[in-house]
Amino acid sequence: MASARRIDPHLFVIHGGTGDLARRKLFPALYRLLTDEGQHGSCHVLGVGRSDLDDVRYRELVREAFIEAGLPTDASQPWCTECLHYQQITDIETGGEVLAGRIREIEKSASLPGNRVFYLALPPQAFSGTIRSIGEAGLNHGEGWTRLVIEKPFGTDLESARELNRLVHHYFDESQVYRIDHYLGKETVQNLSVLRFANTVFESLWKRDRIRSVHITVSELLGLEGRAGYYESTGAFRDMIQNHLTQLVTLLAMEPPARFDAESIRNEKVKVLRSIKALEPDEVVLGQYTSGELDGVQVPGYLDEEGVGSVNLKLAIDNWRWKGVPFFLRTGKRMPKRMTRIVIEFRRPPISMFGSESQVTSNSNRLLITLQPDEAFHLLFEV
């Protein structure tokens, strides 16, 4: 029987600890990880936010998130009581000293060795001030190891990304920094490399003379859900296209890496990105959802939200493997159903030798890779 992985005792600090990402993704993931590994007490979590909350009310908020995620609240309550904390910071620029004091207090009471993770689950415009505040308070280096985790999107354009990088490197070594896209944590996304490179039946067909087109669709039931301020400044392109969907494109289109490690995979992904042609205006379709009824409940349109409906675009990858194969990327909110799916459409037979009376219609063979809500692989072919 395999032994559990050892998780170093540490403090996991979530900036944006009351936000949508923390409630829907981070807390359920942290709890499941620590439960599966049987190491509840090894990780204490400190949520940081503007909301006027104390530890007790914050723990109740997280328990509600666990209920929404389908986790057993009776089992999670002891962990919330023992390992979950909250610190209100109303001014990012000057809140570093307050945060440092609270961190030292928790580490002393929990006998933690000084290992820290600072996770920025924040709107992009808050990254710079938060990083500067952490660094100026001396929290960028401690008695143990320190990690800075920056959620996408990283900058709004090339120059802003470079400026953010300069700020990060002013306070942190590159070895301490993780720029992440949480989409890559999905099991089926991680499985894409195995599907391609562990099965010659697929990899031998993974090229332009066998594949007709590639379709990647991410449709969401939810609308803005109170995030109009974030979405108006970020939009579907920065929220979904340049992050989640582009990561899927690189995993599907990259060449076999020399080794299965982070640096080798990154190098192959970058080659794909450099081969993508600049988009033309007629290759992008934008839209906004309107008001309507969802599950018997009237929901507002995009322009009625307090505080983009959809984006469709076509990518062309100009290299030997993919020249002439269009990649269609689609994403939208308030769609008929929640689904993330990749469709690899293979080329049709050059000649259909079966007459019109035949039940064989010579449709394209397709490989369907479903990432959510139910992970699955389907191969469609004629018999």
Name the helix (H) or strand (E) containing 36.
helix 27-36
The torsion of the CA quartet 50, 55, 61, 67, rounded to 10 degrees, works out to 150
Is 85 marked active-site?
no
Q: Which three-class secondary structure state does DSSP give residue 87? A: strand
**Chain centre distance of CA 27:** 14
Instruction: Give the residue among 30, 144, 60, 54 at the shortest CA–CA distance from 102.
Output: 54
Cβ atoms of residues 61 and 18 within 8 Å: yes
Instruction: Give the residue among 33, 58, 53 at the shortest CA–CA distance from 43.
Output: 33
Q: Can you read off the two tokens belonging to residue 370? A: 């479903």
Q: Can you read off the two tokens belonging to residue 328? A: 């269609």
Cβ atoms of residues 318 and 335 within 8 Å: no
Amino acid (1-letter code) at residue 78: P
Give the active site residue among 15, 44, 85, 244.
244
Q: Which three-class secondary structure state does DSSP give residue 314? A: strand
CA distance 37 to 30: 11
Neighbours of 267 (CB within 10 A): 13
CA distance 63 to 28: 10
The residues annotated as belonging to the active site are 244
